[in-house]
Amino acid sequence: MSAPNLKVTIAGIEFANPILTASGTFGYGEEFNEFIDLSRLGGIVTKSITRYERMGHPPPRTAETASGMLNAIGLANVGVDIYIEEKLPFLRNLGCRIIVNVAGFEIEDYLYVIDKLNGHPEIDMIELNISCPNVKGDGLEFSSNPEIAYDCVHKVKQVCDFPLMPKLSPNVSDIKVIAKACEEAGADALSMINTLFGMAIDPFTRKVRLSNIVGGLSGPAIKPTALAAVYKAAAVVKIPIIGIGGIMDYRDVIEFLLAGATAVQFGTANFIQPDCTIKAIDNLYKYLLENSIEDINDLIGKVITT
Amino acid sequence: MFRRAFSIYDYDPENDVVDILYKVVGKGTRLLSKIQANNILDVLGPIGNGFPLPGKDDRSVLIAGGVGVPPLYLLAKQCCTGGFDPQRLTFLCGLTSESEIPMVARVKTLPISFYLSTDDGSAGFHGFVTSLFEQKLADGDIRDDYVIYTCGPEPMLAVVQQLARKHNKRCYLSLESVMPCGVGTCLGCVVKKAGENKYLRVCREGPVFDSQEVEL
């Protein structure tokens, strides 16, 4: 058998392999440069950037839970101007795809940031963090309502030079409806899932474990939820899906591909094992070889359900 | 699930051995305590900065609270073996009771001035190590030219920080924090930067900070 193919294509962009890093778990890429060969990754999704710099929530910002992690960092980031000035140059010519995650609290925020990012050749794609509260609307997440999600994605799509990938929240009654709304609004791909709402309390001190009281749950605890979300969404949209949620190794990657994802993002796993992505790429290749699978694309959506 | 951050207690460069001294406080440290000889551990490090060594003419006071002993022991040892006059080092250590005295066994082997306090008065000075420190200041045992190095629980560090400010002393704090990643990306282990709307990462910019740099 010839060397198996690991390449996947999303929104016309070819990725060397389906392994990406999830926003907020990989900084701006440079933090991991001393641990792994970044050029081997399929892509890097950088930490959510916003219109202005944000200092984030006071500590404690994280808590360990059963097979998971709660976080309420509060979208701490340098803001789009410093991002372009200081962070983007490092990402130039890294040899892997660069996806910029953009967050906002009103549609104008997204439009402002996208306008600033337009024209920068380092960027391959935009991931739209629509799991933020819409402060000009009812304060609910943009991703929680199909009309609002549609409106947001539609407006951003009009001005965005890059392929656009909304990142969906699992905190909704039916993710299929949101996925469909985003596709109709012009999304080129979808990523899912963002973190689940969560909370932890110290039973002895009676105190909450996060300063923000509630936070986002990630890690292996949410993998089954993520897998089901990908499976359900893949059944109703034609655009590619990037699966996220508790992926720790190549076996998890295969599960997500089988459920219908074209690629995946490693998140919390980066905190535990900085080289988890590289190991997964190597092991994925071995898996294809050992199972005589010529093309990784042959796994996508091929879960056996009967 | 996450790695646990520990300070380095001792280092033997000839045999490539690093010691850590930890207290079993939760699930992670309990699991760690079950590790047998010859088991292989996955270790990421060293990460972060260390204490700046005192100048040859400086006098230093090292103030340790409980689990804050290890990094200060190593600092004291480095000073003693690095040609620093041991007479210029004073080590104050606060423990909860005499049952914790094994924690300072190595400190006591160093030729430096060592004073102990226990919360319950079962050994040494009765009270917090910060009270012992205040007494030493009042007695004139610790004078103006002393540099403070400290590590321990945050409430203790906050008191030391206040005393350092009050007595106009240079002070270095080694902070403890839950560090999910340890490499500067998760932004979980932050501490407020003094006078600015910014947080500093304990794992990258620290764990040692000039006490004027941070708000506890």
Q: Does B47 touch chain A (CB under 8 A)?
A: no
Interface contact flag, B185 A31, Cβ < 8 Å: yes
A160 catalytic residue (yes or no): no
Please give the share of chain A, as a percent, with pLDDT higher than 90.
95
B214 in a structural domain: no
Q: Is residue A44's pLDDT more than 80? A: yes
Q: Does A73 touch chain B (CB under 8 A)?
A: yes
pLDDT of residue A227: 98
- Mutating which of A57, A62, A90 best tests the B interface, going by the most B Cβ atoms within 10 A? A62
pLDDT grade for A43, boundaries at 50, 70 and 90: very high
Cα distances from B64 to residues B67, B104, B156, in angstroms, run 8, 10, 9
Cα separation, A304 vs A223, whole angstroms? 18
Q: Two tokens at A294? A: 């010529």
- Mutating which of A271, A275, A279 best tests the B interface, going by the most B Cβ atoms within 10 A? A271
Q: Two tokens at A190? A: 């979808």
| Long-range own/partner contacts, residues A286-292 (CB < 8 A, 24 or more apart) | A287/A250, A287/A254, A288/A4, A288/A6, A289/A1, A289/A4, A292/A1
Tens of pLDDT, residues A196-208: 999 999 999 999 9
pLDDT of residue B75: 97
Q: Two tokens at A253? A: 């990657």
Cα separation, A145 vs A259, whole angstroms? 24
B84 in a structural domain: yes
pLDDT of residue B216: 93
Nearest CA in chain A to B202: A59
B37 in a structural domain: no
Q: Is residue A123's pLDDT more than 80? A: yes
Cα distances from A226 to residues A49, A166, B14, B21, B198, in angstroms, run 24, 15, 50, 39, 34
Q: Does A32 touch chain B (CB under 8 A)?
A: yes
B27 in a structural domain: no
| pLDDT tens digit at each of 216 positions of chain B | 799 999 999 999 999 999 999 999 888 999 999 999 999 999 999 999 999 999 888 999 999 999 999 999 999 999 999 888 999 999 999 999 999 999 999 999 999 999 999 999 999 999 999 999 999 999 998 887 899 999 999 999 999 999 999 999 999 999 999 999 999 999 999 999 999 999 999 999 999 999 999 999
Q: CA of A25 to nearest chain B CA: how many angstroms apart?
A: 6
Interface contact flag, A71 B186, Cβ < 8 Å: yes
Q: Does A271 touch chain B (CB under 8 A)?
A: yes
The number of distinct structural domains making up chain B is 1
Chain B residues 154-193 within an 8 A CB cutoff of chain A: 177-178, 180-192
Interface contact flag, A73 B184, Cβ < 8 Å: no
Cα distances from A150 to residues A43, A185, A187, B79, in angstroms, run 26, 5, 9, 64
B83 in a structural domain: yes
pLDDT of residue B145: 84
Question: A139: which DSSP letter?
Answer: S
Beta strands B89-95 and B113-118: pairing type? Answer: parallel
With both helix axes pointing from N to C terminus, report the angle between B129-139 and B154-166 in degrees, rounded to the nearest 10: 20
Q: Does B37 touch chain A (CB under 8 A)?
A: no
Side-chain-facing half-sphere of B74: CA atoms under 13 Å: 19
pTM of the model: 0.94
> How high is the ipTM of this complex?
0.92
In A37-135, the DSSP E strands lie at 43-49, 62-65, 68-71, 97-103, 125-129
Tens of pLDDT, residues A125-154: 999 999 887 777 777 789 999 999 999 999
B64 in a structural domain: yes
Q: Which residues pair with A54 in a beta bridge?
A: A77
Nearest to B132 by CA among B145, B119, B143: B119
Q: Which domain holds residue B161?
A: 59-176
Tell me which amino acid residue B100 is. E
- Give residue for tokens 């080289």: A275
Angle in degrees, CA A19, A21, A23, rounded to 5 = 145
Count contacts between A and B (CB, < 8 Å).
73
Q: Of A32, A62, A273, which is closest to B188 when you measure between CB atoms?
A: A62
pLDDT grade for A1, boundaries at 50, 70 and 90: low
Q: Does A79 touch chain B (CB under 8 A)?
A: no
B15 in a structural domain: no
Residues of chain B with C-beta less than 8 angstroms from the C-beta of A55: 197-199
Identify the CATH number of the domain in which residue B131 sits.
Answer: 3.40.50.80
Please provide residue A243's backbone torsions phi and psi, each rounded to the nearest 5 degrees.
Answer: -85, 140
Tens of pLDDT, residues A64-122: 999 999 999 999 999 999 999 999 999 998 999 999 999 999 999 999 999 999 999 99
Domains of chain A and CATH, by start: 8-57+76-197+218-299 (3.20.20.70)
B7 in a structural domain: no
